[in-house]
Amino acid sequence: MSDQKKKKSTSYQHNMNYGCTPKHTPKYPANHQIDGYCKPANKGETETVDAFTRSFPPRGDFQFFPVIDANVVLAEVLLEADVEAHIELPTPAKEIKSIRKNVYLTQAKVIPSVVRRDLVKVFITGVVHKNIQYVEEYSGYVRDYGVDIKFSTNQQVRIFNPVNTRTSQKSSVHENRFLDKKGHGADKDQFGSYHSEFFNEPIEVKLLGAIINELDLAKDHNLCGSFKKITEKMEVVIFLKLFQKQQYDPRCGFGADGFAADDFDAQPEFQGQYEDGQDFDQPDLNGFGDSYEEDAKSGKGADSLRKSLRGQMKEILRNAYNQGSDQ
């Protein structure tokens, strides 16, 4: 037997010992003498599996400077977008049976404002996907039609934790000049420049929930009462969380005491947000709830407003869920 046949035979024996995937196993004779092919392993039937687990507290090595990179929540945002759209069905509809809706974002970008350090600009582009089920006659099959309704908005949002950002100096405006050998002027043969470049963590956006309140208007009925065009007026309310990965020292705690003195003094917009009874500019909530004005006048501070907003957001989601369950 040649060396090449010996290698093939060894490879075949190896496959016989360890099995092979069924999709790569062709038909083979009973003597299993075809090189390169193998018989799949026999399969047993599993009846039950008993397992045992134990959990242990996490442990870590001692660190002189226990600084971590953590996702710091800048703000939780309630954003409302009013959308009007026109939909044309592929065939005339006698009656709309149901409309299922899903909201997802195609773009969510946040940039810090140059006007104030506690403001950011939020640019949102999203899609409301609708699955419309309708009938062409009073009896018959139900037809499905899917359509995407795009919406886009940009809003100014106040944040409650500062953004870590640094600017870069890319141009060669800052020059290094040297004296000439005589000390009478600049050396034309030696010169340099200075530039700096810093890479900031982006501000991320997470979609927490969405509520859609809509009005559907059927248009252009024919003599039989069927229609193909629908005009929809929607109130799209989305709940967002803005966060940024920042370097954080757990030993500093939370609140104003957690900031370095120079950093905190350089950001006067944040000084009244962490202690009760100090200056606090009420966020522009467009009249969303009367409790905000009462809290602001009573001097409860940002923490109370934040809890009140979160409570009302949960109440809205709970009511929307209950209404959907009743239907």
Percent of the chain with pLDDT over 70: 65
What is the Cα 51 distance to its own chain's centre?
36
Residue 92 vs residue 31, higher pLDDT: 92
Phi-psi region of 298 (alpha: psi -120 to 50; beta: other; left: phi over 0): alpha
The per-residue pLDDT for 41 is 72
pLDDT at 281 over 60: no
Q: In this structure, what token pair is assigned to residue 213?
A: 């309140």
Tokens of 212: 């859609």
- Per DSSP (E only), the strands in 165-286 are 169-179, 186-196, 203-219, 227-248
At 31 the pLDDT is 52
Transcribe 254-321 into DSSP letters: SSGGGS-HHHHHT-GGGTTSSSTTS--PPP--TT--SHHHHHHHHT--HHHHHHHHHHHHHHHHHHHH
CB contact at 8 A, 174 and 194: yes
Residue 154 to residues 122, 161, 223, 243: CA-CA distances in angstroms? 5, 20, 44, 18
Looking at the predicted structure, is the pLDDT value of residue 260 above 50? no
Average pLDDT over residues 109-134: 92
Closest CA to 124 of 139, 111, 136: 111
pTM metric for this prediction: 0.58
Tokens 């370097």 found at: 247
Check pLDDT > 70 for residue 132.
yes
**Does 4 have pLDDT greater than 70?**
no
Predicted pLDDT of residue 187: 79
Q: Is the pLDDT of residue 222 over 70?
A: yes
pLDDT confidence tier of residue 18, bands split at 50, 70 and 90: very low
Look at 33-47, 91-105, 233-247 and tell me which has the smallest mean pLDDT: 33-47
Q: What pLDDT sits at residue 224?
A: 84
pLDDT of residue 103: 94
The predicted structure's pLDDT at residue 259: 43
Whether the predicted pLDDT of 90 surpasses 70: yes
- As beta bridge partners, residue 122 has 110, 155
39-75 confidence digits (pLDDT tens):
777 777 767 677 777 877 877 777 777 788 889 999 9
Task: Using the predicted structure, report yes or no on whether residue 288 has a pLDDT greater than 50.
Answer: no
Q: Is the pLDDT of residue 148 over 90?
A: yes
What is the 8-class DSSP label of residue 184?
Answer: S
Query: What pLDDT does 34 receive?
Result: 54
3-12, 23-32, 192-201, 248-257: segment of lowest average pLDDT? 3-12
| Amino acid type, 241 | K
pLDDT of residue 293: 47
- Determine the pLDDT at residue 291: 47
Q: Average model confidence (pLDDT) for the chain?
A: 74
* Element of type H or E holding 74: strand 68-93
Q: In the prediction, which pLDDT does 122 show?
A: 94
Find which of 164-173, 199-208, 299-308 is predicted with most confidence, using mean pLDDT.
199-208
- Whether 277 shows a pLDDT value over 60: the answer reads no
